[in-house]
Amino acid sequence: METVNTGRTVKLEIVRQDNENGATRVEKFEVPYRPGMNVISALMHIQKYPVTADGQKTTPVSWDMNCLEEVCGACSMVINGRPQQSCSALVDKLTQPIRLEPMKTFPVIRDLQVDRERMFNALKKVKAWVPIDGTYDLGEGPRMPERKRQWAYELSKCMTCGVCMEACPNVSESASFIGPFALSQVRLFNTHPTGAMNKDERLNAIMGDGGLANCGNSQNCVAACPKGIPLTTSIAALNRETTVQMFKNFFGSDHMVD
């Protein structure tokens, strides 16, 4: 898209880092303003013209992006001190200079690009999928009641963006907490008629180190989630379910009724 010359500019301060162990530095940029532009469009201009505000040539800024419509979750970063999606962060709604930083919860690959592997490892830990062996056609799965399907759909909107992890005070490089997004996925897959076959396995996975007990109930996650997922509601429900699971483990599932 061609830049419309309005005479206005957008000022940015970007925290940069050449690699995971590299020193950080702040570079300032000034890009032409365009009505309706978002943070990513400003970054794309810098990528095309990597020159700082004082006229010094530099390297293009590195960041992740994909869908550009707040679906993939790839473009998460800290914008003016708040973790959010850069595709939906409109310049007109931000105070300048706009400060861009990588999320501190994850290892930095370069500049604003981070490694979110811990999130995918958390999903593996809680078996966030419906397991089938694929050896034969199972046909249509069991239907879910419409009332249950509606709230389950809200949980399925998670795009593994990492914003809830960045906002949570119980998540850090040294902490083992799997995070609110993974706990919510446990509730989602335990609700599914087929996924419920592995319900006990998922509940046991979050009853140990890094699970529910590590949640401090700060509720920062639900306030920060760009998709409005009721994360704390899921965590509260799982507290009850793991209590029941604890008794089932102790007395034996044959003597317990869900």
With cut-offs at 50, 70 and 90, classify the pLDDT of residue 7.
confident
Is 142 or 199 the better-scoring residue by pLDDT? 199
Is 138 or 147 the better-scoring residue by pLDDT? 147
What are the tens digits of pLDDT across the range 87-111?
Answer: 999 999 999 999 999 999 999 999 9
> What is the C-alpha separation between 252 and 172, in angstroms, rounded?
36
What are the tens digits of pLDDT across the range 20-36?
Answer: 889 999 999 999 999 99
pLDDT at 153: 94
pLDDT at 254: 55
- What separation in angstroms does the CA of 21 have from each of 27, 106, 119? 18, 13, 21
pLDDT at 165: 97
What whole-number percentage of the chain has pLDDT above 90?
80
With cut-offs at 50, 70 and 90, classify the pLDDT of residue 118.
very high
Is 115 or 139 the better-scoring residue by pLDDT? 115
With cut-offs at 50, 70 and 90, classify the pLDDT of residue 138.
confident
Average pLDDT over the chain reads: 92
Beta carbons of 128 and 185 less than 8 angstroms apart: yes
Strands 76-79 and 98-101, by their bridges, are antiparallel
Strands 98-101 and 9-17, by their bridges, are parallel
> What is the C-alpha separation between 236 and 246, in angstroms, rounded?
16
pLDDT of residue 162 exceeding 70: yes
What are the tens digits of pLDDT across the range 164-196?
Answer: 999 999 998 888 999 999 999 999 999 988 899
What are the tens digits of pLDDT across the range 202-239?
Answer: 999 999 999 999 999 999 999 999 999 999 999 999 99
Q: Which domains does the chain have, with CATH numbers?
A: 9-114 (3.10.20.30), 117-255 (1.10.1060.10)
pLDDT of residue 5 exceeding 70: no
pLDDT at 257: 53
